[in-house]
Amino acid sequence: MTAERPEALTTVVIPTLGRPSLRRLLEALRADPGAADCPIVVVDDRRQSPASSEPDDLAGDLSSFGVELIRSGGVGPAAARNRGWRRARTPWVSFLDDDVVPCPGWFGDLCGDLDGACATVAGSQGRVSVPLPDDRRPTDWERGTAGLAAARWITADMSYRRAALQEVGGFDERFPRAYREDSDLALRMVQHRYGLTRGRREVLHPVRPSDFWASVRQQAGNADDALMRRLHGRQWRGQAGAPAGRLRRHVVLVAGGLLAAGAAVTGHRRAAVVGAAAWLGGTADFAWARISPGPRTRGEVVTMLVTSMVIPVAAVRHRLAGSWRHRHAPAWRGAPELVLFDRDGTLVHDVPYNHEPDKVAPVEGARDSLDRLRAAGVRVGLVTNQSGVATGIISPDQLAAVQARVEALLGPFDIVRHCPHAAADGCACRKPAPGMVVDACSTLGVRPPRCVVVGDIGSDLEAARAAGARSILVPAPATRLDEIRAARRVAPSLGVAVDSLLQGAW
């Protein structure tokens, strides 16, 4: 099932880890009369979804809310959001975190924000309020969450035009955490000359519970900062409105500690004292900066003292690891919107003029490759030349029977197009003519540049090129050497081809 309600303005997409707060969010949405018919896609991103017989199964828990539930299997929030928005068919897609609470009238304000956006505006951010305790000063964790109220382009409440998401490839799935993937997307929107605005709708973002080491685990985001720098340059923080952070001071702290330890081991007492003083003074300054604005309870002070000694090491380690991992990271393209496959020789073994369903045999990895694309929200189709119909070797009923067998073995396709003409007929659909590719894209509302044709011979690639689509050649026994040499992209197997598509390398 797909979230297809053409009359709706927007689809709400909510990635979740199964938090109890999700029910509260959905109750608030469905209690709003204007949102009663709004398409909602919930993306269950837990690594192992519970069995349907268990009481906390989301499918049963959310059945009364009329949402579409899809499972992404722990791919991370960026990839989960991509799977969600690709299910939508509405002009806009509105992303909400599963722990926010829409304020009364939120949906009406959302529609007003989106209706009022001019054609050059691709994104609209809601206002985020973080309730803090009235009877005491906020803790370090609470102050960190409160920073979301001033953050720019965060997906706690962010809407984008679906066409703009298609053009830029959606969220960059190399960001594995709910951190920086929203800023990266916003910067790419701006680079594509789209405008971003702030609306008047508002959500509450309660502070989630934390544990002793929560602030240390957060330092993994330094690896994502390295990716941001690689993609957007040194000035990315200013462009994204992100605070400067303390990485440079953390580097000095770690250097001081290493100097003290190394000098002590090698017997350089004075250097050890200098390094230890730098480490101790910097750590004390960092800890006090976190303790002084807070409630200064015994538990908070102990947590700040201990974690302030660990955080600099964790931050520097993650930054170094991220800089190395992403040192060659190219610009993100995202997965294509549509992948059109040739049939004979590409998905199933080529049996010349096959009119017998029993002779249909998928090539190795075909079903898995198609299922991976489907799971990622990428639509798949078939474009196949069947000149045997024109010559009378294959009857229309036999063609239908063979196609039914292909779908029984490989799963459903979003679109199937076949050309029944002979080469001498001069039709516009027979590959290498672009007719079938153009028609498939037009029918599904996909721009040809966001479509990839996968085939085993040169005519498949020529049809893609003539239609303005891209292509990948997967050689088969019938593939000629000159076709391999002429192909822009060649993959040794369907599985490798799909890997490259999902990674944005197409």
% of the chain exceeding 70 in pLDDT: 97
Taking residues 328-345, report their average pLDDT.
Answer: 95
So what's the pLDDT on residue 56? 53
Taking residues 293-319, report their average pLDDT.
Answer: 97
| H or E element in which residue 460 lies | helix 458-467
> CA-based angle 371:373:377, to the nearest 5?
110
Asked if the peptide bond before residue 432 counts as cis, ω within 30 degrees of 0, the response is yes
> Is residue 480 left, alpha or beta, with left meaning phi > 0 and alpha meaning psi from -120 to 50?
beta
Asked if 342 is an active-site residue, the reply is yes
- The class that CATH gives domain 338-502 is alpha beta
So what's the pLDDT on residue 50? 47
Identity at 86, one-letter amino acid code: R
* Contact between 46 and 22 (Cβ < 8 Å): no
So what's the pLDDT on residue 107? 95
pTM over 0.85: yes
Q: What is the pLDDT of residues 139-149, one digit of tens each?
A: 999 999 999 99
So what's the pLDDT on residue 352? 93
So what's the pLDDT on residue 3? 52
Q: How far is CA 56 from CA 62, 143, 195, 332, in A?
A: 10, 32, 41, 36
Taking residues 341-364, report their average pLDDT.
Answer: 96
Q: Is the pLDDT of residue 4 over 70?
A: no
Kindly state the DSSP code that residue 150 receives in the 8-state scheme.
G
Taking residues 81-85, report their average pLDDT.
Answer: 96
Catalytic residue, from 45, 109, 342, 460: name it. 342
Taking residues 3-8, report their average pLDDT.
Answer: 60
Q: How far apart are CA 351 and CA 359, in angstroms?
A: 8
Catalytic residue, from 45, 97, 344, 456: name it. 344
CA torsion, ordered 171, 73, 84, 325, to nearest 10 deg: 0
Specify the length of the chain in residues.
Answer: 506
Q: Which CATH architecture has domain 10-209?
A: Alpha-Beta Complex (3.90)
Helix (H, G, I), strand (E, B) or coil at 362: strand
So what's the pLDDT on residue 63? 81
Start-end of H helices in 326-340: none
Give the residue range(s) of CATH 3.40.50.1000 domains in the chain. 338-502
* Contact between 27 and 101 (Cβ < 8 Å): no
Taking residues 322-348, report their average pLDDT.
Answer: 96
So what's the pLDDT on residue 208? 93
Q: How far apart are CA 207 and CA 142, in angstroms?
A: 6
- Tokens linked to 170: 């959606």
So what's the pLDDT on residue 454? 98
Query: What average pLDDT does the structure give for the chain?
Result: 93
Give the residue range(s) of CATH 3.90.550.10 domains in the chain. 10-209
Asked if 57 is an active-site residue, the reply is no
Taking residues 301-308, report their average pLDDT.
Answer: 97
pLDDT band at 54 (very low <50, low <70, confident <90, very high): very low
Start-end of H helices in 246-395: 247-266, 269-291, 298-325, 366-375, 388-391
How many Cβ atoms from other residues are within 10 Å of residue 86's Cβ? 25
Taking residues 172-190, report their average pLDDT.
Answer: 96
* Contact between 219 and 247 (Cβ < 8 Å): no
Q: How far apart are CA 345 and CA 383, in angstroms?
A: 12
DSSP for 384-445, written as a single string:
EE-THHHHTSS-HHHHHHHHHHHHHHH---SEEEEE---GGG--SSSTTSSHHHHHHHHHHT
